[in-house]
Each structure stands twice: as C-alpha cells, then as structure tokens.
A and B are shown apart, each in its own frame.
Chain A
Amino acid sequence: MDLRKINRLLCYIVLILLSILCLFSFYLLIVNSTRAHSQIQKGFSFTTGSFFKINLKNVLDSEELPVVNGIINSFIVSSASSILATYFSVLTAFSIHTYEFKFKRLFFTFIMMIMMVPNQVSALGFMRWMGKLDLMDSLIPLFLPSIASPIVFYFMLAYMQSNLPKAMIEAARIDGASEFRIFNQMVLPIMKPAIAVQAIFTFVSAWNNYFIPSLIIRSTKNKTLPILIAQLRSADFLKFDMGKVYMLIFLAIIPIIIIYIILSKYIVRGVAVGSVKE
C-alpha cells in the first residue's frame, strides 16, 4: 500500500469516528424510544426494544400532554418566525445597501448594537411589555419579534454586498421598474439562497426555543414542543417514563430533519456564501 492510500484510510477512519460521535446520540434516541422505562433504567442496549407503539400511544394519548397541538403550535411559531425574519431582514438590508440617506451609519450601528444584547437581558422587560399589550399566553409574542433580527439582517447585507450589484438596480430603474417591484422581482429572487439558509436557521432556533415560550405561555393549548418535553421530564416520580420522553424528543426532531434534508443544498451553498465573488 502506498502512502497516499494510507493517508486516505486514516482520513476515513477519523471521519467515520466523528460521524459515529455525531450520530450516536440520534441512535441512542431512536433505540430508547422503542424501549420501556424499566429497560432504559437498566442501561444502554444496542438493539431496539418492542415498546415503540406503546410509547407512541402513551405520548399521543396523554390528556395533560397535547402533543399534536404542541407540534402545530411549534410549526406556526417557527414558520411565521422564519418568514418574518427573512423578509424584513432582506428589506432592511436592501435599504442600507441601496439607498443613501441621513443617519444611515447611525441606523446600521444601532442594529449592530442590538445584536450584542443577549435575549435574557431584555426578557423581563419584554414580558412586562407583552403583559401590558395583553399578549401574555399568546403565540404572537413568540414570532412577532423576529421582524427585527439583527443577525439575519447582517447575513443578508453581507450576501447582498457580494451578489447584488448596484448597477443592476439602476438598470431596472432605467427600465422603468418601481422600487417595490425591484425589491420583489429582482432582489428577492437573487437573495433566494441566503433566504433559504436563514429561513432554516430561524426555523430551527424558533423550534428549539424554550426560554421565551416558558415565560409567555401559560395554558396547555398554547404550549410548544420544548415546553411539553420539559414538562414530561419534570413529571413526578410515579408518572415519570423515560420511554415517553425519548419518544417525544424523537417526534420533535422529525420535522427538523425533513427540512434539513430538503434544503441541505442551500445550507452548503449558504455557508460558502460571500467567500467567492462571481
């Protein structure tokens, strides 16, 4: 065997080990969702059990645990978040990129400053504000703030700077297009890869978000998946069922996996975005 082959073999071994490391938690999750609570407590097993259907039934039938409702709620919040975050971020980025106006730099700096403030700092104020607006225990506060997403905005701006030549916008103006038409017919299609990437990221983070929903949501019918999972985990000693917990987590990650698979080509492209100017 020559050196190149050995080298290659080593690479593969490292990569396979890394993949196993990544995929092992998924495997654990799937295996455990097919086993009973007592089996799980005895320790880990590589073979699947026979409790898949029972666990599934337990999770879906539970009265105080409206899983289907939770999935729907999570889906509404996550979709609305990603649509609002991407559309309005592109809009903001477009204005900063294209127009010259007074205090432009100031606005930009202000947006960047917001990016530095962690969610937790403003959470209390946000909660009180929502209380005053009578929006406590509603889904709206979970997705509406996505309109102002500084990180998404910054990504869009960076993508625009390398992919949206100003001359093209000017050409469209001379051709007779209105500003809004330019945005919808020229800018949005060109921004598609960036929008796809940010839509996925926003979707996933909204899907996984536990912090804000736990502050806002009270009633059972409005609970999102992360809250349900937490609720299940903190159940009292008699009701505690690890099989159910694993099953619920398993259900929770299915939509994300599907979305990742569908949009994976955009993610790869999106990560490379901005590195090469075409």
Chain B
Amino acid sequence: MSRISLKNLTKIYPGDVLAVNDFSLEIRDKEFIVLVGPSGCGKSTVLRMIAGLEEITSGELYIDDKLVNNVLPKDRDIAMVFQNYALYPHMTVYKNLAFALSLRKVPKNEIDNKVRETAKILEIENLLDRKPKALSGGQRQRVALGRAMVRDPKAFLLDEPLSNLDAKLRASTRTEITKLHNKLNTTFIYVTHDQTEAMTMADRIVVMKDGNIKQVGSPQELYAYPNNIFVAGFIGTPQINFIDVILIKNDSEYFVKIDDALFPISKERFIPNTLDNYIGKTLVLGIRAEDVLMVDDDVSRASLNSQVEVAENMGSEIYVYIDYQGNKITGKFTPDINIAMGDSINISFNSDKIHLFDKETELSLLERNAEPVKVNNH
C-alpha cells in the first residue's frame, strides 16, 4: 500500500522565487496521477519534493501516513525515472539495474534473478552487457524504467520520461508505460507538459500553473468540465475556441450574443442563479472544435458568416481554421465535406456543449455533474 499525501507544500527558491504555492493533494494507492502544465509551473518541483531531491520550504509530505519531510531520498522507497534517463554511463546495463540492489546488500543470486526478470519484462535481455552509450533512445528509456522497477518501490516518479523520444516511439512507449502500471500495480506519479500524455495515461490529472493547482480530475472530467479558462485552453487538441459574448435574457430564455447572432443556451447546465448576475455583461464563450458546426444560411438559426483561412485534411478528419471578424476559430469536421481556402461558410455551435467563463475571474459558470472518479479503470 502506498498513499502519498501532500499538505500545503510550498517551495521558495533562493531569491524569493515561489515555485510551488500551497499545494495539497491526496494520491491514492495504485493511482496513476499526472501533473501537467506549461514549463515553469512547478510540476517538476513537486515531483522532486516527493523524491526528496528538493527541500520542502513549508507544508507536510506523508508517504503511507509517515511524515517524510526530512527523510533522505534513499529511505523513502520511491524510484524515479528522469527526462534524460540519467543512466550511469560507465556501467553496463546489467550493473545499472543491479546498482540499487547491491547497495542494499541483497544477495548476489537474488540480484541476478531480479535483474533478469526485469530485463525480460522490458525486453532488454540482449542488451545487458552493453553500456548506455551503445543504446538507442528508446532502449535507454527502458533501462531507466528497469532501474526503477528492480527495487519494487512504493511509488514511481516519472519526470517527462518521453520528451526525448521521437513522436512514433513516444506513442508506443506511452501505451507500454500504461501497461506497466497495470502489471506492477503501484502508484505512478508522472510529470509532463504534454496534455496528450496526460489525457491518455492518467487516472487523475492535476493541471498546474504558476505553482498553483488549477484543477484536479479525471481526463474526461477535465475535458468536459474545465473549471477555468486556463484548464479549458490547456486540455484538448485542437485548442478550445474562445469568443467574447454578451449574455442576454429574453423572457425566461437566455442567449449569448455575438454581433447580431443570438445563440440560445439552457440555464439548467449552469450553476443555479448565476446567469442572472451576468445579464448584459461580457462573458467568454468556450467551444471545442468538434462542437463547431457548419450550417446553411438559414434565418431560423443563428450563425456566423466567416472565412476559411486554412483547411488541414488529417485523413480521418479535417481541421478548418476559420476567421470570424478577427476571431480565430478552429473547427473539426468529417472529411466528406467539401471546403477550400477562402470559402465563405456559416458556423454555429452545439448549444449543449457551450462553456461560459467569467471574464475577470476566468472561472467557469458551468454546473459540474459530479462524476464518480474511477481508479484503476484500465
């Protein structure tokens, strides 16, 4: 069992640089948690504090209910995989894997068994006599994973482990790490700046910005109910579209107004009694690319007459970059549509998928249908 709880962790670097601010999180046993955010958001610092590589300025860190703020990294029983692999260059793969065990004075034959077993799982048995220099990036990555695995640690900490791999290898290694998590059945804490990795691997995602947590939730939850403009913009590709709108109430019906077009919204989807506070005010509308619709010029339905700037055919879908009066909107359509650069089209929105954000606080006005978070759902 390995629960890790972070209570109000704060890290201030010399020169009063606030890297992590009041970070609290309960990481459940066997959970795959991904910390994601732009570079410099403090995600790696959190990981390094869990590993014991950074001192904690204030707050408490518990591993299995034991306070470990002042426990040395080697005594925390965690393993870490580094971005540049950090293999020992003068040792063979075998010795790289065996190093931690030999320091713990494990009997030789036991080490040998463990190293070979790990090598077998990672399919690097034929590389055991090589030195890291003679390995490809993907192979080094496996060795780095193996070095973490041999010890059966309480938790795996992974610091952007895929960022040095090429795109194809990255995708395949991603699925392998997910498989590995299932097989090892241990807590994984994974840091990345790539939202695709976060979406595809995580049980829960922690989105960070400027040392603060912006939102914690399952990938589906973050995608469907982003708390704020930052999370909405960070999660999902292509990026969500934002347009300034004005909220209007007509009888008991609510609309958002873009120039002359009125798009209806259903108030049930929003936090009760909030919409009324915003009537006549400017809000930020968020709409994902797949919820942008192409419609006929039809007076019965609100639409925006826009220009197609670029159409990218991806094979299974087409990304269309649209310009509406200087607002850039991306739409995702099925490839059977016939569209070309410079075309004039009418677009509308799937009204069940419209997000609205307060322009000042940047918070979402959407009512969250609390979804149960599934753990070990792989």
Contacts and interface: CB of A to CB of B under 8 A. Distances in A.
Interface of A: 100, 165, 167-168, 170-177, 181, 186, 189-190, 278
5 contacts: A167-B83, A167-B86, A170-B86, A176-B104, A186-B88
B254 to A, nearest CB: 53
Contacts of B79: 174
B74 A175 contact: yes
Contacts of B88: 168, 171-172, 186
B70 to A, nearest CB: 15
Nearest to A177: B103
A175 B103 contact: yes
Residue of A175, A176, A177, A278 ringed by the most chain B CB atoms within 10 A? A175
Nearest to B144: A171
Residue of A170, A181, A189 ringed by the most chain B CB atoms within 10 A? A170
Given A175-B99, A175-B103, A190-B89, 16 more contacts: A100-B14, A167-B86, A168-B87, A168-B88, A170-B53, A170-B80, A171-B82, A171-B87, A173-B73, A174-B74, A174-B79, A175-B100, A175-B147, A176-B100, A177-B99, A186-B88
Contacts of A278: 133
Contacts of A173: 53, 72-74
A80 B90 CA distance: 26
B90 A190 contact: yes
Contacts, number: 57
A241 B84 CA distance: 64
B131 to A, nearest CB: 11
Contacts of B99: 172, 175, 177
Contacts of A167: 82-84, 86
B51 interface: yes
A176 B76 CA distance: 10
B74 A177 contact: yes
Nearest to B159: A167
B213 interface: no
B223 to A, nearest CB: 33
B78 interface: yes
A167 B147 CA distance: 14
A168 B87 CA distance: 6
Contacts of A170: 51, 53, 73, 80, 82, 86
List the 4 closest A-B pairs by CB distance, nearest first: A167-B86, A175-B100, A176-B74, A171-B86
A100 B14 CA distance: 10
Given A176-B100, A190-B90, A171 B80 contact: yes
Residue of A173, A177, A190, A278 ringed by the most chain B CB atoms within 10 A? A173
Nearest to A102: B14
B78 A174 contact: yes
A117 B99 CA distance: 44
Nearest to B79: A174
Contacts of B90: 186, 189-190
A106 to B, nearest CB: 14
A186 B95 CA distance: 12
Contacts of A189: 90
Contacts of B103: 175-177, 181
B86 A165 contact: yes
Residue of B79, B84, B99, B147 ringed by the most chain A CB atoms within 10 A? B99
Contacts of B74: 173-177
Contacts of A190: 89-90
A176 B103 CA distance: 6
A170 B84 CA distance: 12
Contacts of B87: 168, 171
A271 B33 CA distance: 47
B84 A165 contact: yes
Contacts of B89: 168, 190
Contacts of B72: 173
B164 to A, nearest CB: 12
A60 to B, nearest CB: 44
Nearest to A173: B73
B51 A174 contact: yes
Interface string B124-165: 000000000100000000000001000100000000000000
Contact of B86 (A100, A168, A181): A168
Contacts of B51: 170, 174
A190 B99 CA distance: 16
Contacts of B83: 167
Contacts of A186: 88, 90
B71 to A, nearest CB: 12
A173 B100 CA distance: 9
A167 B47 CA distance: 13
